[in-house]
Amino acid sequence: MLNVAVSGRDVFDAFKGTLNFVFRRNARLSAGFTIIFCLLLIAVLAPVIAPYDASTVGLHLLDRPPSFEHLLGTDTLGRDVFDQLIHGLRQSLIIGIFTGLAGLLVGTTVGIISGYKGGWVDDLLKSVTDVFLVIPTIPLLVVLSAFVRYMTVPYMVVILAIFAWPFPARTFRSLVLSYRKREYINMAKLSGLSDMKIVFKEVLPNMLPYVSTTLANTISAAIMAAVFLELLGLGPQNTITLGTMVYWAMERAALIRGLLWWVFPPMIVIVLIFIGLQLINIGLDEVFNPRLRRGVTA
Amino acid sequence: MRNRTESKMDNAVLEVKNLTKVFGSSPAALEDFSMTLFDDKPMITAIAGESGSGKTTLARLILDFIRPSSGEIFWRGRNIHKMSKKGLMAYRRECQAVFQDPYSVFNPFYRADHVFNMAISGFKLARSRAEATRMKEEALEVVGLRPEEILSKYPHQLSGGQRQRIIVARAFMLKPRLIVADEPVSMIDASLRAQILEIMLKLKEDFGISFLFITHDLSTAYQISDRIYMLYRGSVAETGDATGVINDPQHPYTQLLISSIPTPDPSAKWQEEVEVSVEEEMGKGDRVGCKFYSRCPHATQICNESHPPLYPVGDGHQASCYLYRELKRDK
Amino acid sequence: MSPLSSTYMRYIGRKLIPYIITVFVAITANFFIPRLIPGDPITVMLSRMSLSGASTADGAEIVEAYKKQFGLDGSWLTQYKNYILNLFQGDLGPSIMAFPMTVHEILMTAIPWTIGLLVVATVISWVLGNLLGVLIGWRRESKTNSVILYLSLCLNQVPYYFIALILVFFLAYTLPIFPTTGAYSVIGTQYEGLRLVVDIVYHATLPALSIIISFIGYWIITMRSLIITTLGEDYILLAEAKGLKRSVILSKYAFRNALLPQTAALGMQLGFVLNGSILLEIIFNYPGIGALLFLAIGNVDYNLMQGILLLTVLSVLSANLILEMVYPLIDPRISHGGD
Amino acid sequence: MSGSALAIEDLKVYYWTERGPIKAVDGVSLSVKKGERFGIVGESGCGKSTLAMSLLRLIKPPGTIEGGRIGLDGTEVLDLNDEELRAVRWSRISLVPQGSMNSLNPVVRVGSQIADAIKAHTASRERGDMKEQITELLGLVGLPSRVYRMYPHELSGGMKQRVCIAMAIVLKPQVIIADEPTGSLDVVIQRVVTQTLVKVQERLAASLMIIGHDMGYLAQLVDRLAVMYAGKVAEVGAVENIYNDPLHPYTQLLIASVPSVKEKKKLLGIPGLPPNLLFPPPGCSFHPRCPEAMEECREQVPELREVKPGRFVACHLYHADVGTAGEGGE
């Protein structure tokens, strides 16, 4: 037992060093992080900020422009746009984060197993991943969504997750293949570490930056696909999401009738989510790659 | 000297039998290589050769990082590829390694002493943290490093020389029988190189640890090794006592190699011009017979037909060249 | 390395086998996935016909007759068998919703529009994006650079369908310059020659613009980072030491090396072009493959859906295959391939 | 100085980091005579490559040339504007890059890359048949003419290096700089490439400055040798004198730590750590590792002075009795 503690302390101590190193350095990363953090905060506090029930129809007067009482005005069905926006953000983030996490978990496991194990396991998993990557996801998503009679958020997460894992799987497979050849993995083998320990103690810690960038990618891909389906009218019927807001606005020809306060806010928030995630992605990339290069003293 | 219980009838500690390794469709990286290291006297055996001679492949095979295409490796009479997990751990404990690139041997995520901690927890060497620290300090002192300067540092805060000495210290801490040193000093400046070679000599003489010293630099091999294997394109060109082979090389390749080494003496300038055929350089020279045929001044017909076996050319000194075929008959 | 050398042929052979397997898996998936959709095509069609007033007295026989007509009778297995046999004869079967026309004919009318719009727009955004990317990557100090960089960074995050909506709003409603629906004006069917072409381009401007604007950011960012890394290479340093003119260094040394991965990325992007067509064609109700698929799903038209899905898979695969074959010719380093 | 093809005076090149400047080249003065082979030896981090690159003003940010003068047969390189510099590069001073595999453009044929150098410096009328010129050059460095149409990845390390040598002499420059030309090559190929370099240099009667870290290799090759340590020149002199009678303690230790195949000698390394260029030690930067360090060494930076005819050394051991051939020190 004692010996495990000795090297376990290493992992904790190393984490501390990496974290404070990361946030001191990069403006883009902190910018991206603040955007996403604020959006998450709003989503979590949604019931407090927007207490009215956003989805019931006819509560308020129709087509009211933004006023003190309705910050973002109301829509043709008499619903407060600001409430919809807040609850829509919450649902969209829920879809994005859960799908992203599911895709990441399945993807990294498949990627690491096939990358580290090699042999027929690798061939099998790699061909399955390749088939998924080649088959066009959008048309199949549309067909599958049509399959669900009454679409809800959980269903959407499941359908999107089916196509969320191949990309991280391929990324992590190539990462593990490259990290496996590093000399310090041989050093670990020479120290009698088991395969499991090598993967979790030696390979994974170095791949942390890639885990976070891939998570940012899978979440933004999931939200992109969700909004796509919602704009086709295949989104969840019972709950408001950012995508369904835009869909209902388009159904009611909000653009032509000039109800800009109904159409543009959800679009802006969606784009804000993507920009936040991309800034985090680029920030992490810059922080971790040069470090690896700078790691070699002159 | 450590007391060794003589349990084996012949005290061969490492036996390599007809080892061959082929990567993909290219010519064999290592072909029919055999070698035996004995346990009675700790020795530094040099495996010398240019890039592409198969020396690193041999090291990776012995350390069981890659599996041979054919041939076996025996440690204390037992085939390492057929060992149980426990058996392999015991083998690892007794056969350690030092690698070439001091920068890639350390996991950048952890502090420098992580290499020690891995070995300690892997082989369950210490019962308490204090004992673990003491082992680390003792090992670092043997290689001439001050523990307080090293233990808390991250790898990128240390120089190449310091890192390499830490890796040697780690190997020493496990008290192995054999250390496979794959080009341990080729990436270190000349001035620091000498110190690491001195450490290797000290470990051999004071702690009875044998070395398999893989290098492309014959002059370092000459300085510290007892026996030497000259590798060329995956097969042994010449082998024997290090001083004998380098002072009086028999195989034409070894002669060319030694004459090409620039000596730090301005008066002894290179004499004649050396020609290397274009095909040779392009690495297309995949031959049936002797692999040195296309560059050998004494090449004859038979050299092109079959690969020459190792003929004895002196006391324990062998060369794989048909020039010495007659010697065999009249010996 | 000449395209006919034996190593090249072996390289291609080795690449073909996984593709054949993938095509087979895709074909099988195409058969089963549409059948998951609830309801069956015949009942949907009958209900639609009854809506339009056609008399459907004895429903059962008609249903049987139509099923035989479209080969929907018998178990899924027999249908699968016929589907595969017909496929090899290149017959995608009749379209259920637009009965007299076969799937093949419908696809032929839709493909040119999608290919014309999306492929052309993607290539335009690729060319513009790369040129701008080189500019930023080459002259790194100037102020405008970071402006362009951040603009393309944000632009790249706005999905093409939002840009479409914004364009429709500004360039069609507030300033009625461009049409927002159809691929050609209704009266346009009489136009010929140049007038028709102008009319088509006029209608295609907004959809094409939304693709160009949304993807140009991606190409700018990737080319910029490629140029910056290439400029750090040793051969650029030697080129400067040789006293070459800056223009020669940029074009023959930096750009040519940076262009290779971008060409591969273009190949991949073209393969997935059908992916993006659905929403775009619905917003502009452009008569392409995407709009067709959406229609087919609405009418649960198995044969049409199978045809379209197969088409998208084949387009992705052929794009990859062409890329794999062409790439070794433009990048000498990958002569005999083999990863 | 008139006979010198290259005259470097008090050259300073610094790399700027957040914690201050790294003085890679800290006041170096050297001169290379016409047709001479001049070697610069020193361990990694001593600034020899930076010095080589600064001669063609190829120092990239965060590096800057802080000061000093680089005289190329009368032309002051540091005063040239961009256009003049471009004209001088390669036509009067050329570079054989480090042995790394990446110095040739991977997607352009070898012949065309050499032709670029000609096109950059000669008007199209006077170029004549470039293909014929280049294949003749390739023959001179021992390469078959079919190499003209080949791509860099199809060549071995040694052949790529000889292509670079052919490229370096295509405009018949006055000075050739070779920065560790045989760094990553095997011993036999190293010898072939080096002999090519010497043959080519003698044919052009150009001056050749060779940068290396292996004393043995340079001994075979150069007429005069400079030893560099921590951005400064420790000792300069004819190569025979440096080897037989090294003055500077660092040179002595450097020669002693080179293993030779001739006789087995106790290997003497140099104790201590390589110098920290960010915060160099006060006085002579070698004093922490110098066996003969004196009080004076820790305070004053020694100047490079001619203590014997043609022998320069920067060490306080010799400065007390300048001019006399005394053994050394008080």
Residues in A touching B92 (Cβ below 8 Å): 189-192
Which residue in the set D44, D155, D261 is minimally distant from B258, CB to CB?
D261
Predicted local confidence at residue D111, as pLDDT: 92
Task: For strands D311-313 and D305-308, give the pairing.
Answer: antiparallel
Predicted local confidence at residue C337, as pLDDT: 36
Whether the pLDDT of residue B253 is over 70: the answer is yes
Taking the C-alpha atoms of residue D80 and residue D92, their distance in angstroms, rounded to an integer, is 13
- Spatial CB neighbours of C130, under 8 Å, sequence gap ≥ 6: C219, C223, C259, C262
CB-CB under 8 Å, D95 with C238: yes
Q: Domain count of chain A?
A: 1
User: What's the angle, vertex CA B269, arms to CA B264 and CA B272, rounded to 5?
Assistant: 140
Token pair of C205 as six digits: 């401007």
CB-CB under 8 Å, C238 with D116: no
Predicted local confidence at residue A1, as pLDDT: 34
Tell me whether A19 touches chain B (CB under 8 Å).
Answer: no
Alpha-carbon radius of gyration of chain A: 23
Predicted local confidence at residue B10, as pLDDT: 61
Token pair of C173 as six digits: 């409603």
Taking the C-alpha atoms of residue B154 and residue B106, their distance in angstroms, rounded to an integer, is 9
Give the minimum alpha-carbon distance from B129 to chain A in angstroms, rounded to a whole number. 7
Choice among B150-154, B232-236, C141-145 with the minimum mean pLDDT: C141-145
Please name the helix (run of DSSP H) or strand (run of DSSP E) that holds residue B36, with its range, or none: strand B30-38
Residues in D touching C332 (Cβ below 8 Å): 106-107, 151, 153
Tell me whether C275 touches chain A (CB under 8 Å).
Answer: yes
Residue type, D16: W
Predicted local confidence at residue C68, as pLDDT: 74
Predicted confidence (pLDDT) per residue in B215-235, tens digit: 988 888 888 899 999 998 888
Token pair of B17 as six digits: 């039998």
Taking the C-alpha atoms of residue D223 and residue C284, their distance in angstroms, rounded to an integer, is 79
- pLDDT tier at B17 (50, 70, 90 boundaries)? very high
Whether the pLDDT of residue A164 is over 60: the answer is yes
Whether the pLDDT of residue A19 is over 80: the answer is no
Predicted local confidence at residue C317, as pLDDT: 80
Which residues pair with residue B12 across a beta bridge?
B38
Taking the C-alpha atoms of residue B105 and residue A184, their distance in angstroms, rounded to an integer, is 4
CB-CB under 8 Å, D58 with C237: yes
Tell me whether D117 touches chain C (CB under 8 Å).
Answer: yes
CB-CB under 8 Å, B223 with D274: no
Q: What is the CATH number of the domain that holds A207?
A: 1.10.3720.10
Residue of D nearest to B219 (CA): D261
Q: What is the CATH number of the domain that holds D45?
A: 3.40.50.300
Mean pLDDT across A154-163 = 90
Mean pLDDT across A108-112 = 91
Percent of chain B residues past pLDDT 90, beyond the cut: 35
Predicted confidence (pLDDT) per residue in D204-218, tens digit: 999 999 998 888 888
Write phi, then psi, for B180 (nearest 5 degrees): -85, 110
**Alpha helix locations (H) across chain C?**
6-36, 41-51, 59-69, 76-88, 103-114, 120-138, 143-155, 160-168, 193-231, 234-241, 246-248, 256-271, 273-283, 289-298, 302-330
Mean pLDDT across B307-323 = 86
What is the distance of C-alpha C171 from the center of its chain? 25
Task: Tell me the residues of C at the D interface, defined by beta carbons under 8 Å apart.
Answer: 233-235, 237-245, 248, 252-253, 256-257, 260, 331-333
Tell me whether D155 touches chain C (CB under 8 Å).
Answer: no
Predicted local confidence at residue B240, as pLDDT: 92
Higher pLDDT, B323 or C249: C249
Predicted local confidence at residue D102, as pLDDT: 84
Task: Look up the pTM and report it.
Answer: 0.81
Predicted local confidence at residue D321, as pLDDT: 52
- Spatial CB neighbours of C289, under 8 Å, sequence gap ≥ 6: C107, C110, C111, C114, C274, C277, C281, C308, C311, C312
Percent of chain A residues past pLDDT 70, beyond the cut: 89
Whether the pLDDT of residue A293 is over 70: the answer is no
Quick one: DSSP state of residue C117?
I
Predicted local confidence at residue A25, as pLDDT: 65
Mean pLDDT across C205-224 = 90
Predicted local confidence at residue D226, as pLDDT: 94
Mean pLDDT across B28-54 = 89
Whether the pLDDT of residue B330 is over 60: the answer is no
Query: Would residue D328 count as lying in a domain?
Result: no
Predicted confidence (pLDDT) per residue in D219-257, tens digit: 888 999 999 999 999 999 999 888 888 999 999 888 888
Percent of chain C residues past pLDDT 90, beyond the cut: 10
Predicted local confidence at residue B182, as pLDDT: 92
- pLDDT tier at A80 (50, 70, 90 boundaries)? confident
- List Cα–Cα distances, C312 to A130, A136, A138, C35, C272, in angstroms: 16, 7, 10, 18, 8
Whether the pLDDT of residue C193 is over 70: the answer is yes
Whether the pLDDT of residue D330 is over 70: the answer is no
Which residue in the set B92, B101, B106 is minimally distant from A190, CB to CB?
B92
Give the minimum alpha-carbon distance from A1 to chain B in angstroms, rounded to a whole number. 9
Predicted local confidence at residue D328, as pLDDT: 37
Tell me whether A224 touches chain C (CB under 8 Å).
Answer: yes
Tell me whether C262 touches chain A (CB under 8 Å).
Answer: no
Query: Between 3.40.50.2020, 3.40.50.720, 3.30.230.10, 3.40.50.300, what CATH number should domain B12-108+175-247 receive?
Result: 3.40.50.300
Predicted confidence (pLDDT) per residue in A211-259, tens digit: 888 999 999 999 999 998 898 888 888 888 999 988 988 888 888 788 8
Query: Would residue D324 count as lying in a domain?
Result: no
Predicted confidence (pLDDT) per residue in B181-203, tens digit: 999 988 888 878 888 888 999 99
- pLDDT tier at C152 (50, 70, 90 boundaries)? confident
Q: Which of A170, A255, A279, A282 to mutate to test the interface with C (most CBs of C within 10 A)?
A: A255
Please name the helix (run of DSSP H) or strand (run of DSSP E) that holds residue B272, with its range, or none: none
Q: Domain count of chain D?
A: 1
CB-CB under 8 Å, C243 with D86: yes
Q: Is D18 exposed, middle or buried (0-12, 13-18, 19+ CB in 10 A)?
A: exposed
- pLDDT tier at B210 (50, 70, 90 boundaries)? very high
Residue C152: CA count within 13 A, CB half-sphere: 23
- Spatial CB neighbours of C139, under 8 Å, sequence gap ≥ 6: C145
Higher pLDDT, C180 or B151: B151
Predicted local confidence at residue A2, as pLDDT: 39
Start-end of CATH 3.40.50.300 domains in chain B: 12-108+175-247
Predicted local confidence at residue A295, as pLDDT: 28
Please name the helix (run of DSSP H) or strand (run of DSSP E) that holds residue A262, with its range, or none: helix A260-294
**Alpha helix locations (H) across chain D?**
48-55, 82-88, 110-121, 130-140, 157-169, 187-204, 215-219, 239-244, 249-256, 295-299, 316-319
Mean pLDDT across C32-47 = 71
Taking the C-alpha atoms of residue C178 and residue D42, their distance in angstroms, rounded to an integer, is 71
Helices (H) and strands (E) in chain B, counts: 13, 12
Task: Tell me the residues of B at the D interface, defined by beta carbons under 8 Å apart.
Answer: 50-51, 159, 161-162, 189-195, 197-198, 216-220, 222-224, 243, 246, 256-258, 260-267, 269-270, 273-276, 278, 281-283
Predicted confidence (pLDDT) per residue in C166-189, tens digit: 888 888 888 887 877 777 776 656
Q: Which of B114, B134, B167, B178 to mutate to test the interface with A (most CBs of A within 10 A)?
A: B114
Residue A248 is part of which domain span? 17-297
Pair A91, A240: CB distance under 8 Å: yes
Residue D43 is part of which domain span? 4-318
Whether the pLDDT of residue C54 is over 70: the answer is no
Whether the pLDDT of residue B2 is over 70: the answer is no
Percent of chain C residues past pLDDT 70, beyond the cut: 86
What is the distance of C-alpha D210 from the center of its chain? 4
- Spatial CB neighbours of D94, under 8 Å, sequence gap ≥ 6: C241, C242, D167, D168, D169, D171, D173, D175, D176, D177
CB-CB under 8 Å, A136 with C316: yes
Whether the pLDDT of residue D24 is over 60: the answer is yes
Query: Would residue D329 count as lying in a domain?
Result: no
Query: Would residue D323 count as lying in a domain?
Result: no
- pLDDT tier at B46 (50, 70, 90 boundaries)? very high
Token pair of B67 as six digits: 């599996």
Task: Give the burial string for A96-129 (b: 16+ CB within 10 Å, else e).
Answer: bbbbbbbbbbbbbebbbbbbbeeeeebeebbeeb
Predicted confidence (pLDDT) per residue in D133-155, tens digit: 899 999 888 888 889 999 998 88
Choice among A92-96, C162-166, D321-325 with the minimum mean pLDDT: D321-325
